[in-house]
Amino acid sequence: MAKATDGNGTPVPQRLLAAATRLFAEHGYDRTSVQEIVEAAGVTKGALYHYFGSKEDLLQEVYARVLRLQQERLDAYANAEAPIEQRLRDAAADVVVTTIENLDDASIFFRSMHHLSPEKNKQVRIERRRYHERFRALIEEGQRAGVFSEATPADLVVDYHFGSVHHLSTWYSPDGPLSQQEVADHLADLLLRALRP
Protein backbone atom coordinates (compact mmCIF):
# COMPACT_ATOMS: atom_id res chain seq x y z
CA MET A 1 0.00 0.00 0.00
CA ALA A 2 1.21 3.52 -0.71
CA LYS A 3 2.34 5.43 2.33
CA ALA A 4 -0.45 7.01 4.35
CA THR A 5 -2.96 7.66 1.63
CA ASP A 6 -5.87 5.21 1.23
CA GLY A 7 -8.48 5.25 -1.54
CA ASN A 8 -8.31 9.02 -1.63
CA GLY A 9 -5.17 10.58 -3.06
CA THR A 10 -4.20 12.96 -0.27
CA PRO A 11 -2.19 11.65 2.68
CA VAL A 12 -4.04 10.82 5.86
CA PRO A 13 -2.40 13.46 8.11
CA GLN A 14 -3.43 16.23 5.75
CA ARG A 15 -6.94 14.86 5.45
CA LEU A 16 -7.21 14.85 9.22
CA LEU A 17 -5.94 18.40 9.45
CA ALA A 18 -8.35 19.61 6.81
CA ALA A 19 -11.31 17.89 8.44
CA ALA A 20 -10.34 19.24 11.85
CA THR A 21 -9.97 22.76 10.52
CA ARG A 22 -13.40 22.75 8.97
CA LEU A 23 -15.09 21.22 11.99
CA PHE A 24 -13.29 23.41 14.54
CA ALA A 25 -14.35 26.50 12.60
CA GLU A 26 -17.91 25.24 12.26
CA HIS A 27 -18.66 23.98 15.76
CA GLY A 28 -15.73 25.16 17.84
CA TYR A 29 -12.88 23.12 19.30
CA ASP A 30 -14.65 21.76 22.34
CA ARG A 31 -17.80 20.91 20.44
CA THR A 32 -15.93 18.85 17.89
CA SER A 33 -15.33 15.27 18.98
CA VAL A 34 -12.33 13.30 17.86
CA GLN A 35 -14.80 10.76 16.50
CA GLU A 36 -16.32 13.37 14.17
CA ILE A 37 -12.92 14.37 12.89
CA VAL A 38 -11.82 10.86 12.03
CA GLU A 39 -15.15 10.10 10.39
CA ALA A 40 -14.92 13.22 8.26
CA ALA A 41 -11.41 12.21 7.25
CA GLY A 42 -12.51 8.66 6.49
CA VAL A 43 -10.25 6.98 9.04
CA THR A 44 -10.47 5.94 12.69
CA LYS A 45 -9.04 7.04 15.99
CA GLY A 46 -6.11 4.73 15.61
CA ALA A 47 -4.94 6.70 12.58
CA LEU A 48 -5.31 10.05 14.29
CA TYR A 49 -3.37 9.05 17.36
CA HIS A 50 -0.78 7.46 15.14
CA TYR A 51 0.06 10.82 13.56
CA PHE A 52 -0.88 13.28 16.30
CA GLY A 53 -0.18 13.14 19.99
CA SER A 54 -3.49 14.63 21.03
CA LYS A 55 -6.51 16.56 19.89
CA GLU A 56 -4.72 19.69 21.02
CA ASP A 57 -1.78 18.96 18.74
CA LEU A 58 -4.20 19.10 15.86
CA LEU A 59 -5.28 22.57 16.90
CA GLN A 60 -1.72 23.76 17.33
CA GLU A 61 -0.82 22.51 13.89
CA VAL A 62 -3.59 24.63 12.39
CA TYR A 63 -2.11 27.67 14.09
CA ALA A 64 1.43 26.88 13.09
CA ARG A 65 0.48 26.63 9.44
CA VAL A 66 -1.33 29.95 9.38
CA LEU A 67 1.41 31.75 11.26
CA ARG A 68 4.14 30.48 8.94
CA LEU A 69 2.16 31.56 5.91
CA GLN A 70 1.37 35.04 7.17
CA GLN A 71 4.87 35.70 8.39
CA GLU A 72 6.38 34.68 5.06
CA ARG A 73 4.08 36.96 3.15
CA LEU A 74 4.60 39.89 5.47
CA ASP A 75 8.36 39.57 5.20
CA ALA A 76 8.14 39.51 1.44
CA TYR A 77 6.12 42.72 1.27
CA ALA A 78 7.97 44.49 4.05
CA ASN A 79 11.39 43.85 2.56
CA ALA A 80 10.43 44.74 -0.98
CA GLU A 81 11.92 47.61 -2.94
CA ALA A 82 9.31 50.31 -2.75
CA PRO A 83 8.46 53.47 -0.84
CA ILE A 84 7.33 52.82 2.73
CA GLU A 85 3.80 53.94 1.97
CA GLN A 86 3.51 51.36 -0.75
CA ARG A 87 5.03 48.58 1.30
CA LEU A 88 2.70 49.18 4.22
CA ARG A 89 -0.31 49.39 1.96
CA ASP A 90 0.60 46.15 0.22
CA ALA A 91 1.26 44.34 3.46
CA ALA A 92 -1.95 45.61 5.05
CA ALA A 93 -4.02 44.59 2.04
CA ASP A 94 -2.32 41.23 1.71
CA VAL A 95 -3.05 40.14 5.25
CA VAL A 96 -6.71 40.89 4.58
CA VAL A 97 -6.74 38.81 1.41
CA THR A 98 -4.99 35.80 2.91
CA THR A 99 -7.21 35.99 5.98
CA ILE A 100 -10.32 35.94 3.82
CA GLU A 101 -8.90 33.10 1.79
CA ASN A 102 -8.52 31.13 5.02
CA LEU A 103 -11.49 32.33 6.99
CA ASP A 104 -11.81 28.98 8.74
CA ASP A 105 -8.31 29.26 10.11
CA ALA A 106 -8.98 32.82 11.15
CA SER A 107 -12.07 32.04 13.18
CA ILE A 108 -10.36 29.11 14.83
CA PHE A 109 -7.40 31.30 15.59
CA PHE A 110 -9.29 33.98 17.40
CA ARG A 111 -11.94 31.85 19.06
CA SER A 112 -9.94 28.86 20.20
CA MET A 113 -6.51 30.10 21.10
CA HIS A 114 -7.34 30.00 24.79
CA HIS A 115 -8.05 26.27 24.50
CA LEU A 116 -4.36 25.58 24.06
CA SER A 117 -2.33 24.53 27.05
CA PRO A 118 -0.20 27.28 28.59
CA GLU A 119 3.03 26.13 26.93
CA LYS A 120 1.53 25.85 23.46
CA ASN A 121 -0.27 29.11 23.94
CA LYS A 122 2.99 30.76 24.83
CA GLN A 123 4.58 29.38 21.70
CA VAL A 124 1.82 30.81 19.53
CA ARG A 125 2.00 34.16 21.28
CA ILE A 126 5.70 34.40 20.62
CA GLU A 127 5.17 33.84 16.92
CA ARG A 128 2.32 36.32 16.85
CA ARG A 129 4.46 38.87 18.58
CA ARG A 130 7.15 38.56 15.93
CA TYR A 131 4.57 39.20 13.28
CA HIS A 132 3.16 42.15 15.16
CA GLU A 133 6.62 43.67 15.57
CA ARG A 134 7.56 43.37 11.95
CA PHE A 135 4.38 45.19 11.10
CA ARG A 136 4.99 47.84 13.72
CA ALA A 137 8.48 48.41 12.39
CA LEU A 138 6.97 49.36 9.06
CA ILE A 139 4.80 52.00 10.66
CA GLU A 140 7.64 53.38 12.72
CA GLU A 141 9.82 53.58 9.66
CA GLY A 142 7.19 55.72 7.96
CA GLN A 143 6.77 57.86 11.05
CA ARG A 144 10.49 58.55 11.25
CA ALA A 145 10.52 59.38 7.57
CA GLY A 146 7.73 61.86 8.19
CA VAL A 147 5.24 60.30 5.78
CA PHE A 148 3.03 58.91 8.59
CA SER A 149 1.56 60.88 11.45
CA GLU A 150 3.06 60.33 14.87
CA ALA A 151 -0.17 61.23 16.63
CA THR A 152 -0.81 57.59 17.57
CA PRO A 153 1.72 55.11 18.99
CA ALA A 154 2.67 52.57 16.33
CA ASP A 155 1.67 49.68 18.59
CA LEU A 156 -1.85 50.95 18.81
CA VAL A 157 -2.06 51.44 15.08
CA VAL A 158 -1.06 47.82 14.55
CA ASP A 159 -3.75 46.64 16.93
CA TYR A 160 -6.23 48.89 15.24
CA HIS A 161 -5.60 47.34 11.88
CA PHE A 162 -5.40 43.75 13.13
CA GLY A 163 -8.62 44.28 14.97
CA SER A 164 -10.35 44.76 11.67
CA VAL A 165 -8.60 41.71 10.22
CA HIS A 166 -9.52 39.63 13.22
CA HIS A 167 -13.09 40.81 12.86
CA LEU A 168 -13.39 39.72 9.24
CA SER A 169 -14.48 36.21 10.14
CA THR A 170 -17.48 37.70 11.92
CA TRP A 171 -18.96 39.58 9.03
CA TYR A 172 -17.28 38.87 5.70
CA SER A 173 -19.20 36.70 3.30
CA PRO A 174 -18.08 35.76 -0.21
CA ASP A 175 -21.71 36.31 -1.26
CA GLY A 176 -21.61 39.90 -0.05
CA PRO A 177 -21.33 42.93 -2.34
CA LEU A 178 -17.57 43.29 -1.95
CA SER A 179 -14.88 41.05 -3.35
CA GLN A 180 -11.87 40.03 -1.30
CA GLN A 181 -9.69 42.51 -3.09
CA GLU A 182 -12.14 45.35 -2.68
CA VAL A 183 -12.37 44.78 1.05
CA ALA A 184 -8.60 44.53 1.29
CA ASP A 185 -8.11 47.76 -0.65
CA HIS A 186 -10.65 49.62 1.45
CA LEU A 187 -9.17 48.46 4.74
CA ALA A 188 -5.63 49.26 3.64
CA ASP A 189 -6.87 52.62 2.47
CA LEU A 190 -8.47 53.35 5.83
CA LEU A 191 -5.20 52.56 7.54
CA LEU A 192 -3.17 54.77 5.25
CA ARG A 193 -5.69 57.59 5.49
CA ALA A 194 -5.61 57.42 9.28
CA LEU A 195 -1.83 57.73 9.11
CA ARG A 196 -1.76 60.81 6.88
CA PRO A 197 0.19 63.54 8.68
Partner DNA sequence: GATCACATACCGACTGGTTAGTCTGCCGGG
Partner DNA sequence: CCCGGCAGACTAACCAGTCGGTATGTGATC
**Sign of the alpha-carbon torsion through 49, 54, 56, 60:** negative
Interactions with its own copies, residue window 30-89 (CB under 8 A): 30-31
45 binds, among its own copies, DNA, none (CB under 5 to 8 A by kind): DNA
**Least distance to its own copies from the beta carbon of 22, Å?**
14
**Least distance to its own copies from the beta carbon of 193, Å?**
5
Burial class (CB in 10 A: 0-12, 13-18, 19+), 88: buried
How many residues bind to DNA according to rule CB under 7 A?
23
> Which member of 10, 26, 45, 83 binds DNA (CB under 7 A)?
45
12 binds, among DNA, its own copies, none (CB under 5 to 8 A by kind): DNA
Q: How many CB atoms lie within 10 A of CB 92?
A: 26
Residue 186 contacts its own copies per CB under 8 A: yes
Give Cβ neighbours of residue 67 (< 8 Å, ≥ 6 apart).
Answer: 124, 127, 128, 131
Interactions with DNA, residue window 13-42 (CB under 7 A): 32-35, 38, 42
Residue 191 contacts its own copies per CB under 8 A: yes
What are the distances in angstroms from CA 167 to CA 22, 92, 96, 110, 158? 18, 14, 10, 9, 14
Q: How many CB atoms lie within 10 A of CB 100?
A: 20
Give the three-class secondary structure for 151. coil
Interactions with its own copies, residue window 152-181 (CB under 8 A): 152-153, 156-157, 159-160, 162-168, 170-171, 178
Checking phi first, is residue 33 left (phi over 0); if not, alpha (psi -120 to 50) or beta? beta
> Which member of 4, 28, 49, 61 binds its own copies (CB under 8 A)?
28
Closest CA to 139 of 184, 183, 74: 74
Where along the sequence are the contacts to its own copies (CB under 8 A)?
27-28, 30-31, 110-111, 114-115, 149, 151-153, 156-157, 159-160, 162-168, 170-171, 178, 183, 186-187, 189-191, 193-196
